[in-house]
Amino acid sequence: MKDYQAQLEKLRTDAAECALIRDLATDKAKRELFDRLANHLTVLAQQVEMAMLERRKDAGP
């Protein structure tokens, strides 16, 4: 489970960094690219989180 948690934190950090770059970018193409990256990494983080919850649920009490 620690692997999932570490990956989740990395994805969230990467998404936040992409969002920061997007917000600071002056070039439209760069803004759009980093917006897509931030959104994609956020979705991946959500999927990892859902997988973690499923594993906990399947493990039972």
Render pLDDT for 10-42 as a digit per residue (tens, 0 to 9): 999 999 999 999 999 999 999 999 999 999 999
pLDDT of residue 1: 67
Helices (H), 1-61: 2-24, 28-59
Give CA–CA dist 30/19, Å, rounded. 11
Q: How many CB atoms lie within 10 A of CB 24?
A: 10
pLDDT of residue 21: 98
Q: For the whole model, what pTM was predicted?
A: 0.86
Q: Residue 22 is part of which domain span? A: 2-59
Closest CA to 10 of 60, 39, 36, 48: 48
61: confidence class by pLDDT, cuts 50, 70, 90: low
Bigger pLDDT: 60 or 25?
25
Give CA–CA dist 47/11, Å, rounded. 11
Q: Measured on CA atoms in the order 50, 53, 57, 58, is the torsion positive or negative?
A: positive
Domain count, the chain: 1
